[in-house]
Amino acid sequence: MNSVLETSKKLRKSKPSELQEIVALANKTFDTFYRPFLGDYNVDWYVGSGELKREIVKHANDLHVLLINNEIKGFAIYFDDFIHIMMIDEDAHRLGMGSFLMTAVEEILFKNHTNIKLQSFVGNKIATSFYLKNGWKKGAVNNARKDVAMMYFEKERN
């Protein structure tokens, strides 16, 4: 049998006691997956300076965790009509967990909004492919700094 089918998955609001574990997951994910397009300097600064942790703490009230068999394997920060951050632990990549998390967040946001948005780094080809595969449409690009240019994505409720 497929172990993914046997997996217990759920999304729930994070607890303050989980913040350290969530930040560690974010640091590991950012360090592993963002170097190819942001470069060592930008990744080392964002993780090493504590800026990534500050961003997560700042949005702790909007932080939700993806539990797989009662272990935190991903998280999303979302509010209003916007998905601010979404990360999946590298151990859970390519197992459908990102799609599960995205669908769960979309369902929540579409309860109150007909259009939802997110942004991603232009150079993040893996994320861009994932969003397009999940029905998101490319929007504007912010090229304020070419090395960290952001692309916006939108999705309409069906």
Structural domains in the chain?
A: 9-156 (3.40.630.30)
Residues in the chain: 158
Q: Encode pLDDT of 87-109 as tens digits.
A: 999 887 777 899 999 999 999 99
What six digits make up the tokens of 140? 């504007």
82 CB-near residues (< 8 Å, 6+ apart): 116, 117, 118
Quote the distance between the C-alpha of residue 114 and its chain's center.
21
pLDDT tier for residue 121 given thresholds of 50, 70 and 90: very high
Residue with token string 């961003």: 55
CA distances from residue 122 to 65, 101, 145 in whole angstroms, order as listed: 25, 21, 11
CB 89 within 8 A of CB 51: no
Residue 141, classed as helix, strand or coil, is strand
Q: Which two tokens stand for residue 9?
A: 């998955």
What is the Cα 155 distance to its own chain's centre?
Answer: 16
Show Cβ contacts of residue 8 under 8 Å, excluding neighbours closer than 6 positions.
Answer: 67, 68, 69, 70
DSSP count for the chain of H helices, then E strands? 5, 7
Please give the pLDDT value at position 94.
75
**How much is the pTM?**
0.89
- The Cα 94–Cα 111 span in angstroms is 28
Q: How far apart are CA 155 and CA 81, in angstroms?
A: 10
Q: What integer pLDDT is reported at residue 5 of this predicted model?
A: 47
Q: What is the pLDDT of residue 128?
A: 95
For 15-19, 20-24, 30-34, which range has the lowest pLDDT when averaged over its residues? 30-34
